[in-house]
Structure 1
Amino acid sequence: MNEILDTAALVLILIGALLCLTAAIGLVRFTDVATRLHAATKPQVLGLILICLAIALSLRSWPVVAFLIPIVLIQLATAPLSAHMVGRQAYRNGTVNEKSLLVDELADSQRTPPAAGG
């Protein structure tokens, strides 16, 4: 049973590391903000979760699991929030290619002032 868990941990670390590597390559290779945000958040978070799961399988200790759970939860909470803030600021700066957007929900809020009530 130990060999099976160790092999599973090895595979999870390998997949997690490959996902983190693809996220880093995506940050370097992609040109616009929206695609870089996808590369920075989606594979990176999944890679971290897989690596944390592999660590828990490898060490087989409840204190380690108790330590890894907040790490994963904080990552799940902060990655989408930071991507949202960066994307919104890029939209305000005009660095987002508006022709590539399928739905532009912020365009209406740009035309109507927040205090106008509409």
Structure 2
Amino acid sequence: MNEILDIVALVLVLIGALLCLTAAIGLLRFHDVPTRLHAATKPQVLGFILICIAVALALRAWPVVAFLVPVVVIQLATAPLSAHMVGRQAYRNGTIDERSLLVDELAEARRTPPAAGG
């Protein structure tokens, strides 16, 4: 049984590392902010979770699981928040191609001066 868990952990680390690698390649290859945000958050977070599961399987100790669960929860909470803040700032700076947006919910707030409450 231990050998099977070690093989599963090895496969999970390999898949997680490949997902993190694709996230890094996506950050380098994609041209605009929204696609880079997708590359930075989605495969990176999934790869990180798979690696944490692999570590828990390889070490087979409850203290390790108790340590990794908050780490994964914090990662799941902070990755979308940071991506949202980066995307919002890119929109405010005008570095997002507005023609590529299907719906622009912030267009009215952008036209309103900040002192007017918008």
User: Which TM-score bucket, shorter chain as reference?
Assistant: over 0.9
Find the aligned partners of 2:49 and 2:84 in 1 and give their Cα distance. 20
Who is 1:63 aligned against? 63
Who is 1:85 aligned against? 85
Q: Deviations over 1:4-58 (max 9, x none)?
A: 1111101100000000000000001111111110000000000000000000001
Matched, 1:75 2:75: yes
What percent identity do the matched residue pairs reach?
83
Matched, 1:24 2:21: no
Q: CA RMSD in A?
A: 1.5
Who is 1:105 aligned against? 105
Q: Deviations over 1:59-90 (max 9, x none)?
A: 00000000101110110011000000000000
Q: TM-score, normalised by structure 2?
A: 0.94
Find the aligned partners of 1:117 and 1:31 in 2 and give their Cα distance. 33
Q: TM-score, normalised by structure 1?
A: 0.94
Who is 1:7 aligned against? 7
Who is 1:42 aligned against? 42
Letter in 1 for 2:24: A
Runs of at least 5 residues in structure 2 that lack an aligned partner in the other structure? none
Kindly state the Cα deviation for residue 111 of structure 1 after the two structures are TM-superposed.
2.9
Kindly state the Cα deviation for residue 109 of structure 1 after the two structures are TM-superposed.
2.0
Task: Count matched residues.
Answer: 118
Runs of at least 5 residues in structure 1 that lack an aligned partner in the other structure? none
